[in-house]
A and B are shown apart, each in its own frame.
Chain A
């Protein structure tokens, strides 16, 4: 019994041989019968006649034989398929248009599905990724310093917690190009991240070559070791298979390469979207970092079976015993309520969920529009083929056969569209995966995988059924008699079709309208974001990381050395023609940042629990001018030396806060003194504009600027403002720096605008995608309108001819056709606008300074749709008005 299906399938493929055998068998059968009859004494003719009668219908016998032995439905399907390919081949333009429309719809869907799958659905690229948690305090305004922990806190948490297999972390303050590889020529800049030695063990990553860090590598005074990323190993070291064990001069120390990371591990893609990391180095937990304060981000791996709630409870239990620094018992307990694990996946891509859902809905709508369009095209085609179907019905084709035939056609179209669409999606995904500048996580791991293929098949089949079913049922339900009789084009049947087609067009316009509104709102938000006063002027400014060595026996000597280096460099660079201002800061806005506690006005009592201090920037004179940040009061001068009055510049928000706290006269901060725990305090000499330091969209926090002559910077970013495009100065600036310091690496010359673009890149990315989908939707809707109006003009040729013969003018005919076009468009727009208003909540959280019911956007969208509809209707209208009454009346 179980063998029947395979045998039947076999029979399907050996049809010809089986048919021949049956033929022979039947022939033998006939001969036996004739022979027997002859033996009874009948004449040959009669014997043959009787034999044929007793055999019954031979054709029926064959048919029945085929039905029993093979797969009848498959047979029919193959028949339908052949027929479909023949008819589509005859109607190539239709087929091409249909396949193209579908390819666009399906391609967009598959590409977006891949993005959604990578960012939201698929687990992170680590084994048992659901066990991984990101441990951080709830978000605050003091930047990374309030999102990280100290090394003492790390130790306490690791020892005290019970729900975690292990806890690891990395140094959150590494700046780009912090590594300088010296191979002889100019030093090569690279970026490395310091991680706690057990980092890869916790993540479950295995080395492609060599080994990972051990506790010994992270010990004080351990020999320097480094792990290369796959990309850097290939780019910089020509994929040297014997790299492990070799040593190189990095940052002036002989560093041993102990391994190469697998290609699948991309630190930037997971933890620092849109930036590239070339190497990983061990973090020395018990050396100087011990006194650096909050520097480590926590990543934990929960024990199997531990729930997130349990992990949270555990963290909350340990938090009060964690100390900021064990040397200061008063700092113990400062992390209370500040140790909260969230699934690592949520940390990485949780914020993007809403954007992705909107994106997914947008492509879904595109597919719907494509389906409606196809339905419309098929319906028009089916109307033209009405007689063919009527004839087939008359010849005995059942209704299901006709629906089946039409469904086969739509499935063939959608499958062809899917194949082409998959190609498009592949290109799009490939392109996206190589957009390193977009600050979206996991983008580099984007690819078309099995799930995407499955999704393609799913949407191809459902699209095929969706757009094939309406015309199919409509055709099969028709009145046979009427269709056969109906020779003129003005019959009632076609009128019914037209109503259906009009409804489809209205749907299409409404969907396109929703897409346009969404895109319009996002576009408006994006423009508003670009308009935000960032507190600095990004255009015509650029930054380059400057190498310097200020190591000296005492801090004073070090400061003096540094001051000379900085002043020389700035003087030299400012002398370059075209440079208007230059200055140095250790951190740039929209990048990494840190805070150093909270300096309060002298005399104001220090309150407990207030740890969210201002972000700290250590700068030189000229930096704020180079950035284009306005200052009230004065900028630092080179005379603000280590032994002079200690001075600071604060931003407006912090100044307001301090003024409110200390009740300064006129609320003016300039000239006031802050308590920094030292002798003289910090005198505020200037108040700077609020700078967007973490993102371009949110509120700005507190900022404080220290002069590099009095405080210690962690690195130096030389910022230049020029009258020329900054890139034109790159060479002369680097040459100047290298004359002063031969160790200066060929660091990247980064326009400040690129920092802003980087911060805006996710919004730009989503806006561009939704806008291009809206454009596509608009185009498809226009196509739909054109199709319907054009068809109805053709159908009414005679009627228009008569009206023109009776004196209707060309203008009147045109107006009438245009009128019916606009009617469709207006109904569609009204429905679409209503749907958009209803759906506004979905998109509201993605908007910036834009109401989801923004009147201007809605008006612009309606105007655009109406204009496009008019164009789509104008072409057939013009044709209608050019109808020659004589020709029209003679036709038919």
Chain B
């Protein structure tokens, strides 16, 4: 099975969620984490994560500062802000609704319509 292309906007949600779950992380860490969680199913050009990070930071949903990693390397660490958490909650609700709808549409019975509830 080939890897999934990321839909527009999904990467931002993944980054927010990853940061919400893991705390402070650098770009590589975030990218690897997303790959691992997805079971290596998404096609992620790791470089594109930085565009997502700068956008989220400009919107004030994440914050960054330079720090030193576990193996003593200088790296930029990102963490989610309070506004970011609110946004994440909102996005999560949106995705749940969307997947619900997609589910129902795709499992629609081809013969009859949906029965009245």
Q: Cβ of B76: which chain A residues have Cβ within 8 Å of it? A: 21, 24-25, 28
- Cβ of A7 < 8 Å from any Cβ of B? yes
Main secondary structure of the interface of A (DSSP, over half): helix
A-B contact number at CB 8 A = 82
Q: How far is the CA of A586 from the CA of B50 in the complex (A)?
A: 92
Contact check, A32 vs B73: say whether CB atoms are below 8 A apart: yes
Tell which of A61-69, A241-249, A252-260, A444-452 binds the partner: A61-69
- Is B51 in contact with A67, judged by CB distance below 8 angstroms? yes
A32 lies within 8 A of B45 (CB)? no
B47→A31 contact, CB < 8 A = no
Residue in A1, A4, A28 whose CB lies within 8 Å of B75: A28
Q: Is A22 an interface residue (CB 8 A)?
A: yes
Contact between A69 and B58, CB atoms less than 8 A apart: yes
**Alpha-carbon distance between A61 and B54 when the two chains are bound, in angstroms:** 12
Query: Which residues on the B side are within 8 Å of A8 (C-beta)?
Result: 58
- Mark A residues whose CB is within 8 Å of B: 1, 3-4, 7-8, 11, 21-22, 24-26, 28-29, 31-33, 35-36, 54-58, 60-62, 64-65, 67-69
Are A61 and B48 within 8 A (Cβ)?
yes
The reply to whether A64 and B73 form a contact with Cβ atoms under 8 Å apart is no
| Listed A/B pairs (25) with beta-carbon separation below 8 Å | A3-B58, A7-B58, A28-B27, A28-B73, A29-B28, A29-B46, A29-B47, A32-B26, A32-B28, A32-B69, A33-B28, A33-B46, A35-B71, A54-B44, A56-B46, A60-B45, A61-B51, A62-B47, A64-B47, A64-B51, A65-B51, A67-B51, A68-B51, A68-B55, A69-B58
Structural contact, B26 and A28, CB atoms closer than 8 A: yes
Interface contact B45-A55, CB-CB below 8 Å: yes
Q: Say yes or no: A60-B59 contact (C-beta < 8 A), given A28-B26, A32-B73, A69-B54.
A: no
Q: Report B4-20 CB contacts with A as 1/0, cut-off 8 Å.
A: 00000000000000000
A62 to chain B: which residues have CB within 8 Å? 47
Query: DSSP majority for the B interface?
Result: helix
Nearest neighbor of A54 in chain B, beta-carbon distance: B46
C-alpha gap A64/B50 in the complex (Å): 9
Q: Are B45 and A57 in contact (CB under 8 A)?
A: yes
B60 at interface by CB-CB < 8 Å: yes
Nearest B residue to A70 by beta-carbon distance?
B54
- Which residues 33-91 of B sit at the A interface, judged by CB distance below 8 A? 44-48, 50-52, 54-55, 58-60, 69, 71, 73-76
B50 → A minimal CB distance (Å): 5
A residues in contact with B55, CB < 8 Å: 68-69
Q: How far is the CB of A499 from chain B (nearest CB, A)?
A: 47
How many angstroms from the CA of A55 to the CA of B45 in the assembled complex? 5
Seed contacts A21-B76, A56-B46, A69-B54; 8 additional CB < 8 Å A-B pairs: A24-B76, A32-B75, A55-B46, A61-B48, A62-B47, A64-B47, A65-B54, A68-B51
A56–B44 alpha-carbon span in the complex (Å): 8
- Contact A56 B58, beta carbon cutoff 8 Å: no
Q: Which residue of B lies closest to A63 (CB)?
A: B51
Q: Which residue from chain A places its CB closest to the CB of B83 in the assembled complex?
A: A1
Chain A residues with Cβ below 8 Å from B75 are 25, 28, 32
Question: In the bound complex, how far is the Cα of B23 from the Cα of A711, in angstroms?
Answer: 109
Judge whether A3 and B60 touch: CB under 8 Å: yes
In the bound assembly, the distance between CA atoms of A204 and B46 in angstroms comes to: 73
Contacts of B31 in A (CB 8 A): 29
- Contact: B28 with A58, CB < 8 Å? no
Nearest 7 pairs between A and B by C-beta?
A: A56-B45, A61-B47, A32-B28, A64-B51, A7-B58, A68-B51, A69-B54
**Smallest beta-carbon distance A40→chain B, Å:** 13
Which A residues are in CB contact (< 8 Å) with B27? 25, 28-29
> Which residue of B44, B46, B75 has the most chain A CB atoms within 10 A of its CB atom?
B46
B23–chain A nearest beta-carbon distance, Å? 17
Chain A neighbourhood of B71, CB < 8 A: 35
Closest to A36 in B: B32
Q: How far is the CA of A32 from the CA of B76 in the complex (A)?
A: 12
Nearest CB in chain A: distance from B6 CB, A: 12
- B47 CB, min distance to chain A CBs, angstroms: 3
Q: Say yes or no: B58 contacts A65, CB within 8 Å.
A: no
Residues of A within 8 A of B47 (CB): 26, 29, 55-58, 60-62, 64
Inter-chain contact A64/B48, CB cutoff 8 Å: yes
Measured in the bound complex, the distance between the Cα atoms of B58 and A45 in whole Å is 37
Complex: how many Å from CA A33 to CA B45? 13
Q: Which residue of B lies closest to A56 (CB)?
A: B45
Distance of B67 from chain A, by nearest CB (Å): 11
Q: Give every chain A residue within 8 A of B59 (Cβ-Cβ).
A: 1, 3-4
Query: Is the CB–CB distance between B50 and A61 below 8 Å?
Result: yes
Question: Which residue of chain B lies nearest to A18 when distances are taken between CB atoms in the complex?
Answer: B54
State the CA gap A192–B113 with chains docked (Å).
97
A54 to B48, CA, bound (A): 11
Looking at the assembled complex, report how far the CB atom of B74 sits from the nearest CB atom of chain A, in whole angstroms. 7
Chain B residue nearest to A60 in the complex (CB): B47
How far is B47's CA from A56's CA once the two chains are assembled, in angstroms?
A: 6
Chain B residues, CB < 8 A from A32 = 26, 28-29, 69, 73, 75
Q: Complex Cα distance A33/B75, Å?
A: 13
Complex Cα distance, B70 from A36, in Å, reads 13
CB-based nearest A residue for B43: A56
- Is B46 in contact with A4, judged by CB distance below 8 angstroms? no
Q: Shortest CB–CB separation between residue A467 and chain B, in angstroms?
A: 39
**Chain A neighbourhood of B46, CB < 8 A:** 29, 33, 54-56
